[in-house]
Each structure stands twice: as C-alpha cells, then as structure tokens.
Amino acid sequence: MTEAVLEIKDVNLAFKGKRTVLDVLSNRPSRDVHALNGVSLDLRRGETLGVVGESGCGKSTLARCIVRLYEPNDGEILFQGKDVFEASERKDRSYNRRVQMMFQDPYSSLNPRMTTRQILSEALKVHDMCKEVDIPEKMSGLMDLVQLPEDALDKYPHEFSGGQRQRIGIARALAVEPEVLIADELVSALDVSVQAQIVNLLLDLQERLQLTILFVAHDLRLVRHVSNRVAVIYLGRIVEIGDSETLFANPSHPYSQALLSAAPSLDPDDKGKKIHLEGELPSPLDIPPGCPFHVRCRHKTPKCTTELPRLRPLDGRGSVACHHAEEIENV
Amino acid sequence: MTLKSVHSPILQVEDLCTTFGSGIATIPAVRDVSFSVNKGEILGLVGESGSGKSVTLRSLLGLSRRYGETTGSVYWKGDNLVVRSEADMRRIRGGEIAMIFQEPMTSLNPLLTVGMQIDETLKAHTAMNASERKARAVEMLDLVGIPAARSRLGEYPHQFSGGMRQRVMIAIALAARPQLLLADEPTTALDVTIQAQILDLILSLAKDFDMGVVLVTHDLGVVAQTCDQVAVMYAGRIVEQGAVRQVLRAPQHPYTVGLMRSVPENVPPRTPLYSIPGTPPSLLSLPEGCAFSARCPQKTVLCEQSRPHLTNETGERAVACFSRVETQGDAVA
Amino acid sequence: MTDLSLSSEIKPSRRPSRMQIALRKPGFMAGAAIIGASTVLALFPNVFAPHDPNFIDYLAVRQPPSWQHPFGTDLLGRDSLSRVIWAYSINMQMAVLATVFALTIGVIIGALVGYYRGIADMIFGRVVDAIITFPFLVLVIAVVAVLGPGLINMYIAITLVGWVYYARLMRAEVISQMTNDYASAGIVMGYSDLRIIFRHLLPNALTPIIVYWMTDMALAILLGSSLGYLGLGAQPPQAEWGVLIAEGRNFITTAWWLSLMPGIAIVLTGLGFSLIGDGLADLLRPRG
C-alpha cells in the first residue's frame, strides 16, 4: 500500500463566469466559480480513498477531472508518473480504460435506447477486450460479477430499479478491466437497504479484482465504512486527510469535527452533543480570504482571517490545514 | 392507538387507505394506516421509496384525491377531513394545517417576493390588517433564523441559498400559526450541517408553539434525533410503530431490524453490511400473506398464507409480524 | 443477495407496446390514414386516376362536376380529378425532397456544433442569426430567382435555407442530452467522439427533429405549391396543386372547382402530417 497510482498535484479549476458588456466596461472582474483551489493527493494502489464534503465543495469536480471530463486550469494529474493532460497522453484512450468512473444518477447514466447487452458489448468491442466469439461468455461473467440474472442482458434501462441500474453501471466500468475506479456518489440516490447491497458488492469486487477506489460521497457513515483513508474537502481545498479510523475517531480540523457531529446518529439519546455550525457554505464565487472556513469557525483568530493555512502533517494523525490544530480539543 | 398520553390527540387517523388509478389497474398505495399526533409531538413516518409514506402525508390534506380515492378517517379536532369538500380543505390547508416539501425551489413562487408570499398566506387565513401582516412576516423570518429579516422581505426566492430557502418555506408555512405541520422530507436535499440546523428549528418551533408535526423521512438517523413517535411503513402499510426510543433501541419487526442494520453505524469498517435481500414487491401484485415475507429471514409458512395485523400487545408498541424479533437492544450495539 | 427478481418493481409490470398506444390515439391514426392514402395515390396515380391527366378535350371545356368528371374539367377539357391525383406524385415528392436533405445536413451540423461548441459554434450562431432574420419565403424566392425557376432549383433553395432550422433544434437537443451522464460515461469509457455523437447522443436527440420534420413536410407542400402558383416551382403543364390553383384563378367565380379541389388536397395532406407529428411526440419518447 505504498505505491501511488494516481498523483494529483496542486490542481486548480475555475469555471469561467459570463461577463456582460457592462462588466467589461466597468472593469469588473469576471465571476468565476472556484471549484478546486490547489488540491493535492495521492491515490495508493489497492486502497479506498474516501472524499467527503458538502455539496458544491468540489468533490465531484475533482472526480471528473481525474477521468478527464474537466481539464484543470493549473496543476497536474499523474497516472503512473505521466501527466494525463499532456497532448500525447490525451490521444491515448487506454487511460480511459484503466481509470473508470461510476456515476451518481442511476437514471441518466445509462443510454435509454440501449439494452444491457448493447451497452456491455460496445465497451468490450471498442477496447478489444476479447475475441468476438468470447463476448457472450464474457458478458455473462460480468453479470455474474455484479449479481444480476442473465436475462437482464436483453432489457432496457427503464425496466430496472435504481439499484439494478447501478449494477449495470458497475458492470460497464468493469468490462474494460480497469485498475482504478472513481465512484462519484455511487449509492446516494438509492434506498438504505439497496445502498448496503451495492456497498457490499463494491467491497467484494475490490478484493477480488484488486481495484483502487476513489469513493466520493457526502454520507460520512458510508465513507467511514468503505475507506482506508479519507480526505475532507471544504470550498475546493483539502482541509484534512488521513487514516480513516483515526480521522473519524479523532477529527482535527474544526470543519471535520462539525461535519461529523452533524451526521444524525441512530441513537435517540445522542442528542445535544452537537457542534453547531453557524451560517452556510460561502459561495465559491467569493471565497473568503485567509482560511476559507474562518467565517463559520468557533476557534478563529485574527491570523485565520488573513493567512491561508497549509496542509501539514500532525503527530499521530493525518495532515490538517488549520493554524490551531494542536490547540483545538476534540469534542 | 399509540402512546396513551395526558394530551388528547389533535390529529387522529384511522384506517386510511389511498388507491391510485381506476378500473383494473388500481394501485393500493396506502392501506389501513392509523396513528395519532398530540400537541407538541413529532411523529416520524419512515420507509423507503414506494412505501407510501409521502402518499399518506398528502392524503391527510386531501391532496391525493385528484389521482385516486382516499377512504378511512382523518379526525382533525373531531372533524373527519376525508369527507370534507375541496372548498373546506382549502381553508384548512395552509391555515390550521401547513405543509412543507423536499424541494423548496419548486414550492415557492419564483415571481413573488418572500414578503408577498407570507402576506398571501396571512390574508387567506387570518383577519390581520396590512401592518399586522407585515409585522408578522418580519417576525417569522426572524424566527426561522434569517438575518436582517426586514430588509430581505423584498427579495425573491432565487436570492436565497438552499438552506435559507427551506427556512423561508418554513416561515411561510408557519406564518398563520398552524397547529399541525406536515413535513415531507424537508432536509433530504440539504447538506448535513444545514440539515442539523433545519431539524433543530422544526424541533424548537414544535415545542414553542405546541404544534404537532408529521415528519416524513427515509433516514432513521433523522427520526432518532428529532421524533417522539415513529411509524415504519412498508408496501403501503405500517409494520411497526411506537415511541422512538423503544422502536430504535429494540426493533421488533424484521424489516425495521433490517433497515437499522443496513446503516453503517457501529459496524467494523470494510466488513459486509447487513442488507435486506431483494427489492420491495410491486404494489400491483402484492402477495397474499405478509408483503415482507419474500425478503424476510424468519418467515414461516404462516407468513406466506396470511397477513399479520398490526397488533398492540404492550399498549405502547404495535408490530405487524407473526414472529417478532426479540433482541433487546441488539441492533444498536 | 443475488435474489433480484426483475419484475419486482413498483411500476406496471406489463406496459402497452408502442403499437397499442398508437391505436388508442384517434388523431394520430387519422393522420396516418390520410398520409398513408396520399402516399398510395402518389405512388400509383395511374391506378386511381379515371382519365389521362393530359388528355385535352376541347368539346368538354370547364365542365362542372358530374358523374363522368367528379371534379369537373379545366379550360382545356382535362379531367380535374385525374390532374389532382397525378399532382399527388409531385406534391408528396416535394414533402420529402424539400425536407430530407435539409434534415440530414441540419442534423449533422447541429450535432457537431452542439457537441464541440467553441469557435465553430460561434460561427454557426452568426450564420443562423443571418438566415433567420429574413422571412423564409422571401429568402427561398431570392435563391430561386438567382438559380432560375423549376423543381430542382426549388429543392436546392429550400434546402439551403431550411437546414438552419433543423441544425438549431439539433444543437439545442444535443447540448441538453450532454448533461446526462450517459454522455459523460461514453467519454470516460474512451469512446471516439463520432461514436458518442452518432451512436449515443443522436438517437436520443432525434425525437423533436422527427416531430418538427412532420410539420416541415406540411410546410414544404405549402411552400412548393406557393412557388408553383407564382410560376417559380413546377411548370405547367405539370399537374401540381399550386399550378392547378393558378390555372383556375381567372375563373374563380365561374369554374370554382378548378381551384377548390387542389386547395382541399393541400389542406388535407397538411393536416395529416400535423396530426402524425403530434402523435409521434408522445410515441417516440423513451420510457423510463
């Protein structure tokens, strides 16, 4: 668990805002959405790295950058040492084969006019995964892998439930025998009991196929359950990253602490120990100066309003981007 | 039906059934649902998609009439709402009984300012004059925690963020001081930190105004943190109901047990989660026996032949199961 | 865990087929009947026309409708019914030929600019703006004036102007389909752009195009016969509804049947295409 498969280095991405003629004339700066602001992390072979944060924090943007759906303005993403956005690498579609993505919405992520058989055989044919004659066998193997009955091959997406569609999405990704899977909110659209089925499937597949997984989700309980390591993102920046159990048992960043305590526990007597975060997520159009979290933080000092804390390793814990991580006691 | 209380219930629902469609293809969306809500009490209706929890909520206000038929009784202050005319219902909706929805943006009118929308509700349901209504509007926005309330009255819904919009919707819903609030997944579209704020708001408003609340949710955590009573629904029926602490501490219906164990809380990480096998049955072809029997780990021959009734042995808990689970406190370790 | 019966879902397990839905739509069925009959007439006018449409009989000029000539005869004594029936060939041909090239070109260009956006899309936007500022008919007449009158030139003129409308529709539809994750999935799977555009996006974006195509065929018949009337399209003695109406124009008070019968034919086919278009909008939607 040491070799990094994917290295993300200081990635920045801003979506350009529309500028009207009036804006240009009055010399107003364009209103860009700063989705990612210097994100760096390594994805190590065989691990599951969880990425958590609230909506709009940039976690899905990060996932989409990794599979080249978006191109960062700055920074690089290295796959086995090569920058995937370099011109020669871009032409190489084998990267897309080796790093696959699974999507959140079970309804829009499958082409409504294609049967499961067409969806899977297209993937197998385009990447020449096996001989033409072996395709049927390969497909029934895939259906087996995602635990769908064989007759599902000749059905259209609208004939399946949400959980079954996600299984087809997983089968499509696995058809091309990837090394890395990016799971963007894979189960958040599903009912709890179906969520558990899909999570179990993912854990099982990871072990059998030795997959490396980036698990993006907003549900902390799920992320805690599936991840070896976890990164907490706030306004396009990693504020804390570290070993999953350590981080969840002992969060160091005030935002991680608040996020954890806000998740509703199943224990009715667990009320009242909450850290209440005041206010809401600032708009990514206008990220506050200094520490982006200072406007909602209970522990802020004048330093926090001016100086951006860097991600730094902490003894016995992961890395934290907070000036006062040592002084802040856990609740 | 539920906990005997010193309060008399303000809402009493008995044998509520809602059927969609007509002719041969009828869908039994809700069947024999009974519960009651006391003043200041929060009842959670919990279940997965298609369980009938939202339809139940809508049927209380007669909102399902347009698509199907509702029978049974909904006693509101002793008055059966199921048989009341549409005109009567309109007076009650938004006045004595208010409702809030999952997606505030679709239930707020984008073309009217927030102030105008509160004013509209007050005009319809109270006898207040213009200046009283204005004062109430400011008071409501203030109450739900919107900073600079007076100046934001003139703003449109799109000028508020997601969490603030949900607060605005609550402010509008509660402006006419309803005695009952029906909330349909009010925090599902929100982030956890905002969800916690909104749930706290609903909780404190219920206590301050002595208002009953029926909260529909799919999240057992939300129930644990917010509700006093809970009813678990499956395939259109209540399968277990009782006080939250009792139900969540010692669930007795195998479905409730399964739901609770599916949540990855207090489970060793990266181990297989408990999952209920299969998917819910189609409402069009429900089995003769217990609707859960096909997925139930402890089904017997009896379960496939006849349907267990919601029985109420201890006086506090009701469970619809022939072989209820007797594992005290096991689900929440 | 593996026990996932596919039928156990909360939606009707047996859905009616597209055919069954179509049969329950009287408007769509009426449209289909009209266009079906028109197509048969267009393909086999010789079978249905009682007389030779070009047989001149100076002894039976401008006769009112009778058993022998149900639509009467024209100023050269030709049988009006036979001429209206033979005109089906030309006018139905217009409906197809004046639209199908515009549709093909428009769909391809629209799909490409919708997928790639960028500079090509900006140029496309200017071209569209330039073309749609002019009224459609004026522009077509201008092009015909340059190329010279006649059917072929008329088709060229309508195609040159008409593709823009298909392209605009297609572009918008592709852009909206791009927000669906199946398009992203195609990119992530490493599929070629052409495969994503033509195998995945196009079939899902085609429904509004086909609905518009039906309306456009009605318009093409109207436009084609207008140009025929003005002498810019089909040329006499060719039997074409616009030409027929023009021939009867001077006798509208005395021999009203000369203009009325082809007029009814235009209205009827136009109505047929519109009814089909309405029905198709519902039928072609993917289920889900």
Q: Do B278 and C7 touch (CB under 8 A)?
A: no
Closest CB to B282: pick one of C1, C3, C8: C8
Q: Cβ of A96 and C190 within 8 Å?
A: yes
Q: What pLDDT band is residue B42 in, cutting at 50, 70 and 90?
A: very high
From B317-326, C14-23, C234-243, the region with the lowest mean pLDDT: C14-23
Given CB atoms, is A94 within the 8 Å cutoff of chain C?
Answer: yes
A284 compared with A78, residue with greater pLDDT: A78
Domain residue limits at C107: 18-53+67-283
Chain C residues touching residue B281 (CB < 8 angstroms)? 8
The verdict on residue B297 lying in a domain is yes
List the one residue out of A121, A132, A124, A176 whose CA is nearest residue A154: A121
Residue C4 touches partner B, C-beta closer than 8 Å: yes
Q: What is the pLDDT of residues B262-294, one digit of tens each?
A: 988 888 889 999 988 888 888 888 888 999 998
Q: Which of A22-36, B67-81, B209-223, C114-128 has the lowest mean pLDDT?
A: A22-36
Mean pLDDT, range B125-138, rounded to an integer = 92
Assess contact for B291 and B253: CB atoms under 8 A: no
Can you tell me the mean pLDDT for C62-76?
87
Q: Of A299, A266, A262, which is closest to residue A280 (Cα–Cα)?
A: A262
Q: Which three-class secondary structure state does DSSP give residue A22?
A: helix
Amino acid in position A211: L
Q: List CB contacts (< 8 A) between B258 and chain A.
A: 193
What total number of domains does chain C contain?
1
Neighbours of chain B (3+ CB pairs under 8 A): A, C
Please check whether residue B308 is in contact with residue B322, taking contact to mean a CB–CB distance below 8 angstroms.
yes
Domain membership flag for residue B292: yes
Q: What percent of chain A has pLDDT over 70?
A: 96
C208 pLDDT tier (thresholds 50, 70, 90): very high
Which residues, numbered 24 to 53 in chain B, qualify as contacts with chain A under a Cβ-Cβ cut-off of 8 Å? 48-49
Tell whether the model's pLDDT for residue B5 goes beyond 60: no
Tell me what pLDDT residue A122 has: 95
Q: What CATH code is carried by the domain that includes residue B250?
A: 3.40.50.300
Percentage of the residues of chain B whose pLDDT score is greater than 90: 46
| Nearest alpha-carbon partner for A56 in A230, A266, A293, A281 | A281
Higher pLDDT, A92 or B35: B35
Peptide bond connecting C237 to the previous residue in cis, omega within 30 degrees of 0: yes
Residue B44 has pLDDT above 80, yes or no: yes
Please state which of the ranges A283-287, C46-50, C89-93, C152-156 shows the lowest mean pLDDT.
A283-287
A positions 162-191 inside 8 Å of B (CB): 163, 191
Q: How many beta carbons lie within 10 A of that of residue B94, not counting itself?
A: 20
Give DSSP secondary structure letters for chain C: -----TT-SSS-SSPPPHHHHHHT-HHHHHHHHHHHHHHHHHH-HHHH-SS-TT---GGGTTPPP-SSSTT-B-TT--BHHHHHHHHHHHHHHHHHHHHHHHHHHHHHHHHHHHHH-HHHHHHHHHHHHHHHHS-HHHHHHHHHHHH-SSHHHHHHHHHHHHHHHHHHHHHHHHHHHHTSHHHHHHHHTT--HHHIIIIIIHHHHHHHHHHHHHHHHHHHHHHHHHHHHHTSSS-TTS--HHHHHHHHGGGTTT-THHHHHHHHHHHHHHHHHHHHHHHHHHHTSPP-
Which phi and psi (to 5°) does residue A100 adopt? -110, 160
| Neighbour-count burial of B287, counting CB atoms closer than 10 A to its CB (0-12 exposed, 13-18 middle, 19+ buried) | middle
Please state the rounded mean pLDDT for residues B113-125.
91
Contact B179, B39 (CB under 8 A): yes
Cα angle for residues B238, B241, B246 (degrees, 5° grid): 155
Query: Does residue B137 fall inside a structural domain?
Result: no
Q: At which residue do the structure tokens 């385009």 appear?
A: A126
Confidence of residue C283 (pLDDT cuts 50, 70, 90): confident
What's residue B332's pLDDT? 41
Residue of A66, B50, A158 lying closest to C288 (CA atoms): A158
* A221–B265 CB contact, under 8 Å: yes
Mean pLDDT, residues C17-46: 88
Q: Is A207 on the interface with B (CB under 8 A)?
A: no
pLDDT at A220 over 50: yes
Establish if B158 belongs to a structural domain: no
Element (H, E) at B188: none
pLDDT of residue B280: 83
Check whether C18 has a pLDDT greater than 90. Answer: no
Mean pLDDT confidence for C193-208: 93
Domain that holds residue B78: 11-96+178-265+275-319
Q: Would you say B240 and B256 are in contact if contact means Cβ atoms under 8 Å apart?
A: yes
Q: How confident is the model at residue B3 (pLDDT cuts 50, 70, 90)?
A: very low
Euclidean distance between CA atoms B153 and B137, whole angstroms: 8
What spatial distance separates the first Cα and last Cα of chain A, rounded to whole Å? 32
Residue B317's pLDDT is: 86
Using alpha carbons, list the distances in angstroms from residue C132 to A283, B136, C122: 40, 53, 16
CATH number of the domain bearing residue C75: 1.10.3720.10
Does B190 score more than 90 pLDDT?
no
Q: What is the dihedral of CA C178, C181, C187, C188, to 10 degrees?
A: 160
Cα C75 to Cα C258: distance, rounded to the nearest angstrom = 9
pLDDT at B299 over 50: yes
CA distances from B292 to B9, B251, B279, B295, B318 (A): 31, 15, 10, 6, 16
Sheet architecture: strand order including B79-80: B27-37, B11-20, B68-76, B79-80
Asked whether residue B171 is assigned to any structural domain, the reply reads: no
Q: What was the pLDDT predicted at B333?
A: 36
Task: State yes or no: pLDDT of A190 exceeds 50.
Answer: yes
Q: 3-state DSSP call for residue B120? A: helix
User: Is residue B329 over pLDDT 70?
Assistant: no
> Which of B272, B274, B279 is opposite residue A161, by nearest beta carbon?
B279
Inform me whether the C-beta atom of residue A257 falls under 8 Å from chain B C-beta atoms: no
Query: How high is the pLDDT of residue A265?
Result: 86
Note whether residue C1 is domain-resident.
no
**CB–CB contact C5 B277 (8 Å):** no
* Residue A329 binned pLDDT confidence (cut-offs 50, 70, 90): low
Instruction: For residue B135, tell me if it sits in a domain.
Output: no
Average pLDDT over residues A310-328: 89
Q: Does B54 fall in a domain?
A: yes
Arch. (CATH architecture) of A4-320: 3-Layer(aba) Sandwich (3.40)
- Alpha-carbon gap, residue C138 to C130, rounded angstroms: 14
The total number of structural domains in chain B stands at 1
Confidence of residue C287 (pLDDT cuts 50, 70, 90): low
Mean pLDDT of B30-45: 94
- pLDDT above 90 for B21: no
3-state SS assignment for residue B279:
coil
Mean pLDDT of chain C: 88
Question: Which one of A226-240, B309-323, C17-31, C61-75 scores highest in mean pLDDT?
Answer: A226-240
Chain B residues with CB-CB distance to A297 below 8 A: none
**pLDDT of the residue at C1:** 36
Q: Chains near A, with 3+ CB pairs < 8 A? A: B, C
Number of neighbours of residue B213 by Cβ within 10 angstroms: 23
Q: How many angstroms separate the CA of residue B230 from the nearest CA in chain C? A: 24
pLDDT band at C227 (very low <50, low <70, confident <90, very high): very high
Query: What ipTM score was computed for the predicted complex, to two decimals?
Result: 0.85
